[in-house]
């Protein structure tokens, strides 16, 4: 089965020679291969649902941290008002 990946040189989706899944330094899943038309290297990102879940978890952590920071500020400013 030939994977169709967009080729920059051909400016269109072309058949791919030796397609293989690779993981980039950032942890993104990619499909890499060679263009059958011009033999140049090309790759495309593969989206994963697992990754989205991790993103949501990270968001929650940020929210918690923000709340903590606000509370601290309030305590400091209220004690300033008392004096
Ligand atoms: Zn090409």
Number of domains in the chain: 2
Q: Could you tell me where the DSSP H helices lie in 1-83?
A: 49-82
Two tokens at 20? 């293989």
Q: Both 59 and 22 in a single domain? A: no
Q: What is the pLDDT of residue 21?
A: 93
Q: Both 57 and 19 in a single domain? A: no
Separation of 26 CA from ligand 1 center, angstroms? 26
What range does the domain containing 62 cover?
A: 48-83
Sheet (strand 4-7) strand order:
4-7, 12-23, 29-35, 41-46
Q: Per-residue confidence of the chain (83 residues) as pLDDT tens digits?
A: 568 999 999 999 999 999 999 998 999 999 999 999 999 999 999 886 555 555 666 677 777 777 766 666 666 666 566 56
| Contact (Cβ atoms closer than 8 angstroms) between residue 15 and residue 36 | yes
Separation of 18 CA from ligand 1 center, angstroms? 14
pTM, entire model = 0.52
Separation of 29 CA from ligand 1 center, angstroms? 22
Q: What is the pLDDT of residue 71?
A: 64
Helix H or strand E segment including 7: strand 4-7
Q: What is the pLDDT of residue 36?
A: 96
Separation of 55 CA from ligand 1 center, angstroms? 34
| Contact (Cβ atoms closer than 8 angstroms) between residue 26 and residue 16 | no
- Within 10 A of 57 (CB to CB), how many other CB atoms are there? 8
Q: Both 40 and 8 in a single domain? A: yes
Separation of 43 CA from ligand 1 center, angstroms? 11
Bridge partner list, 19:
none
């Amino acid at each position: 089965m030939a994977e169709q990946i967009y080729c920059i040189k051909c400016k269109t989706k072309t058949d791919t020679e030796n397609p293989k899944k690779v993981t980039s330094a950032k942890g993104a899943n990619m499909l890499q291969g060679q263009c059958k038309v011009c033999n140049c290297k090309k790759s495309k990102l593969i989206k994963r649902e697992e990754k989205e879940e991790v993103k949501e978890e990270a968001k929650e952590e940020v929210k918690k941290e923000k709340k903590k920071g606000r509370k601290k500020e309030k305590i400091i400013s209220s004690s300033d008002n008392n004096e």
